[in-house]
Amino acid sequence: MSVSPKRRQTTTAVTKEALDPRLASLLGSFTYHIRVEKGMAENSIESYKRDIRDFLLFDSKPIETYTHEHLVKYMASLSEVGLVSTSLARKRVALKQFFGFLAENEVAVQVDFDKVPKIKPGFQLPDFLDVDTMLAFLNGLPVETTLQKRNKLMLELLYASGLRISELLGLSIHDFNHGDRVILVRGKGSKQRYVPYLEYVAELLDKYLAQVRPVLLNFKNSDILFLNHRGGKMTRMGFWKILRKEALRANLKQEITPHTFRHSFATHLLEAGVNLRIVQVLLGHASLNTTQIYTHVDTRYLVETHRMYHPRA
């Protein structure tokens, strides 16, 4: 994904996390090895660097203390956020080559890759859309009628935020901080988190609140953001019917569910280079690292990272 001038300007504001100097030096030596000695293509070099750096930032420690258990935990976390098997397999290869290079150069690593399960790419259709397919689907949504404008906002917001469908349909008009463009999301187990939304979603939201929602509300009293045609709360079944209709209209070749948007959100950010810990926070995943995540990742950093790397930014 190309980086626009606007994104380049924000890069310095988003480079909050930096590798430990020794880890950075080892990664630099490995990069030199695959570029000069192995003659690897530049795109592959950048992918390897990104994959290895993400792991080292996810669980930063002296290189000699890593074991297979750390890699298994990392791969499991990637799988949990929805990264597909082909991408998982590539990351495993990158890490195996990195630790193999260190061992060959007399760095006392103790990672046994025989104990890191191999990733077998599946043959079933993945539960995500690639960036081009997702953007084509969203760009093709009709916006002529009141209900179509509501549907456009729902689907765009689902992809822009990575929300669960229950979180999307539970949103209140009071959950949006329009100045900072963040949403207060109430997730599983009454846990709360802030999720950014982008300018194009803000524009759709403003039009929906000013022109569409009052028509759907029809003088009723409700704080719920997304309303059905009777002015009541949108249900899961109602959303499913909308999504199924739009998927058929767009002639999508694979099955699409509300969770497809969440998996696509996570996959596209990870493949663009966003650190796994950031994606975990955005998704509201509960894990053994939850305390560490919320300690080290502040809301400002989340917002800046999201705006820099999301395909819609």
Q: Cα 196 to chain center, whole Å?
A: 12
Instruction: Give catalytic residue positions.
Output: 164, 188, 259, 262, 285, 294
Tell me the Ramachandran region of residue 145: left when phi exceeds 0, alpha when psi lies from -120 to 50, beta otherwise.
beta
CB of 111 closer than 8 Å to CB of 71: yes
- Cβ distance 131 to 1 under 8 Å? yes
Q: What is the CA angle 164-53-267, rounded to 5?
A: 25
**Residue found under tokens 């209900």:** 147
Q: Is 125 helix (H, G, I), strand (E, B) or coil?
A: coil
Question: Pairing mode, if any, of strands 182-186 and 192-196?
Answer: antiparallel
| R_g (Cα) of the chain, nearest Å | 21
Give the three-class secondary structure for 194.
strand
Instruction: Name residue 183's beta-bridge partners.
Output: 176, 195
Tokens 């796994």: give the residue.
276
Return d(Cα 148, Cα 215) in angstroms, integer. 13
